[in-house]
């Protein structure tokens, strides 16, 4: 019975990878929305995967979020991990200090004995502030990393949850609603067809730079995120992405 369960999942993994147009999918059993401890399983798979592909002096861009945060329990110093540089993929996010990329890179680096780079900037910068900030040497140093990232580890969220977490104003929320935003990743909001309908004006890795990275690990699970995950991958995505998800999200996409 155990074997059937495992082989059943691997069939689903192949199907889902095909549907999403990506290299590989790993499905952990359960649904994060029903049992929040499933998020730890996602973190473990992602941590193990990162450990397996990491090579000496690799640079690793990390986004924020609770799912990416779950990796930190499964990282430890090793020959290659301790030579990594973890780079925050974006500037800070509202008040949620412990879910920020900046916080996560320093925690991951501490776990591995690795190096890290942070980017402390407000979200929703004005055009003028943005143009000034991006020329600052301390900002430029981090931004230059984005062109030579070896591994990207990122979360995917629902548009609603992310707009809410970011304290986005009423007009932004109304616009996301009208344009039918369903998913969010890297500060980009997507509709069901995968069109980018809105972008947060902050300094961070660009989708083009993500696509240039040879390794991409996406971690997101839960039935409620199914549409968001599908929307993100409908955008002309990086085919080299490995998605680590749970049965909740996988079944919701496969049974549509």
Can you give the binding site for ligand F6P, defined by CB under 6 A? 63-67, 93, 154-157, 162, 184-186
**Smallest distance, ligand F6P to C-beta of residue 250, A:** 16
**Smallest distance, ligand F6P to C-beta of residue 165, A:** 7
**Smallest distance, ligand F6P to C-beta of residue 121, A:** 14
- Residue number of the CB closest to ligand F6P reads 157
Nearer to ligand F6P, 64 or 248 (CB): 64
Q: What is the 3-state secondary structure (H, E, C) of the chain?
A: CHHHHHHHHHHHHHHHHHHHCCCEEEEECCCCCCCCCHHHHHHHHHHHHHHHHCCCCCEEEECCCHHHHHHHHHCCCCCCHHHCEEEECECCCCCCHHHCHHHHHHHHHHHHCCEEECCCCCCCCCHHHHHHHCCCHHHHHHHHHHHHCCEEEEECEEHHHHHHHCCCCHHHHHHHHHCCEEEEECCEEEECCCCEEEECCCCECCHHHHHHCCEEEEECCCHHHHHHHHHHHHCCCCCCEEEEEEHHHHHHHHCC
- Decide: 222 and 199 in contact? Cβ < 8 Å: no
**Smallest distance, ligand F6P to C-beta of residue 185, A:** 5
Nearer to ligand F6P, 25 or 159 (CB): 159
Nearer to ligand F6P, 62 or 112 (CB): 62
**Smallest distance, ligand F6P to C-beta of residue 53, A:** 20
**Smallest distance, ligand F6P to C-beta of residue 158, A:** 7
Nearer to ligand F6P, 11 or 201 (CB): 201
Q: What is the largest CA-CA distance in the chain?
A: 61
Beta bridge partners of 88: 62
Please give the structure tokens belonging to residue 59: 């640079």
Nearer to ligand F6P, 47 or 155 (CB): 155
**Smallest distance, ligand F6P to C-beta of residue 186, A:** 6
Nearest-angstrom CA–CA distance, 186 and 167: 16
Nearer to ligand F6P, 128 or 208 (CB): 208
Nearer to ligand F6P, 7 or 95 (CB): 95
């Amino acid at each position: 019975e155990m074997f059937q369960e495992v082989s059943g999942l691997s069939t689903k993994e192949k199907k889902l990878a095909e549907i999403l147009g990506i290299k590989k999918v790993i499905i952990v059993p359960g649904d994060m929305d029903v049992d929040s401890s499933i998020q730890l399983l996602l973190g473990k798979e992602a941590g193990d995967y990162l450990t397996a592909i990491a090579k000496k002096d690799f640079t690793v861009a990390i986004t924020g979020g609770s799912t990416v945060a779950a990796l930190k329990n499964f990282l430890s110093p090793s020959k290659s991990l301790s030579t990594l540089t973890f780079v925050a993929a974006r500037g800070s996010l509202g008040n949620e200090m412990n879910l920020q990329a900046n916080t996560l890179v320093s925690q991951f680096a501490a776990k591995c004995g690795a190096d890290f780079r942070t980017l402390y900037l407000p979200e929703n910068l004005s055009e003028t502030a943005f143009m000034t900030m991006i020329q600052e040497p301390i900002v430029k140093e981090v931004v230059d990393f984005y062109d030579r990232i070896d591994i990207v580890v990122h979360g995917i969220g629902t548009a609603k949850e992310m707009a809410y977490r970011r304290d986005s104003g009423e007009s932004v929320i109304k616009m996301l609603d009208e344009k039918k935003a369903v998913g969010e990743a890297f500060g980009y909001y997507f509709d069901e067809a995968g069109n980018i309908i809105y972008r947060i004006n902050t300094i961070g890795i660009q989708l083009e730079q993500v696509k240039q990275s040879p390794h991409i690990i996406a971690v997101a699970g839960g039935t409620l995120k199914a549409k968001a995950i599908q929307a993100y991958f409908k955008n002309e995505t990086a085919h080299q992405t490995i998605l680590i998800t749970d049965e909740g999200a996988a079944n919701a996409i496969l049974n549509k």
